[in-house]
Amino acid sequence: MIAAGPPGRVLVAGAGGFIGGHLTRALVAAGREVRGVDIKPLDAWYQHGAGVEEIVGDLAAREVSAAAVQDIDVVYNLASDMGGMGFIATQKLACMLSVLINTHLVTAAAAAGASRYFYASSACVYAEEHQNTTAGPALVEADAYPAMPEDGYGWEKLFSERMCRHVSEELGLETRVARYHNVYGPHGAWIGGREKAPAEIARKIATAELTGEHEIEVWGDGHQTRSFTYIDDCLEGTLRVTAGEWRDPVNVGSSELVTINQLVDLLADIAGISVSRQHDLSKPQGVRGRNSDNTLIQARYGWEPTTTLRAGLTRAYAWIREQVAADLART
């Protein structure tokens, strides 16, 4: 991983979340002084970094955002109300209300004299017309316009991207935007409805391995295609983008495309079992196909994610299996 992104005192918004927790620990390890803010109570944070100034607060409130950015040089905004497809398909209002977090935080950061601001966007901003087939072309950054993103969550992300752009143009704060593609790894949501596909399927495979009941439910027909980005690659991409000079949004995502059925097969192979699957076509499935075109990030940063899906899932599965085993032991 590169050293630590831009210099200065850092705020991580959403520090109690999956990516925010990993980012906080990486910045601390690199010697940065870090303040972390999250709406969740401290005992619900996924990770804690040694020496981090940890604050519980709702950044959707203007006064909380204003206080959070005082004496801060670099802001990483990863705070939002989100989850996997089961959450964003049914909680569109909650997703949209996250515009308040970024709106208040980026304007407060500009007013407080921060030097740089990173916003974590999503591949959900891309227009649906480019994602209607399983074998469609990988998404380039220009495919976000004309705009027709994922309803709710995607619109919130696209609006917030524009907010960053205009704050930069009119208030002078250097803003950077990365569009994440399906980030996964240990120390994140794996149960409860907010988990994403790799964690959800890993939980089902781990349960099958540990209980001997080898039939699992798969949402949709399993032919949907996705690419999945391991957390370490997400962190490196985040730090590179934040420190770089490219001002427009850029994909941070793996380009290793797989079907959901292939994801199931790979996790079952890692677990050393075979499973049968029951496909539930009534569950939310999202777009038919989505993959990251990495031409721009390669050209601007000389880099793209390098962790193979097997390598990343092996690490993630080991952690999720531990959580499932502990959960089963309590029941």
The contacts of residue 224 (CB under 8 Å, 6+ apart) are 134, 259, 260, 285, 286, 287, 288, 289
For CA atoms 179, 181, 187, 191, the dihedral sign is: positive
Active-site residue, selected from the candidate residues 153, 180, 301, 317: 153
The contacts of residue 89 (CB under 8 Å, 6+ apart) are 284, 286
> Do 244 and 301 touch, CB atoms closer than 8 A?
yes
User: Interior CA angle at 192 toward 187 and 198, to 5°?
Assistant: 55
Other Cβ atoms within 10 Å of 124 Cβ, number? 28
Q: What six digits make up the tokens of 234?
A: 């997400």
The contacts of residue 41 (CB under 8 Å, 6+ apart) are 56
- Whether 117 sits among the annotated catalytic residues: the reply is no
Q: What six digits make up the tokens of 51?
A: 């020496």
- Indicate which residues carry an active-site annotation: 153
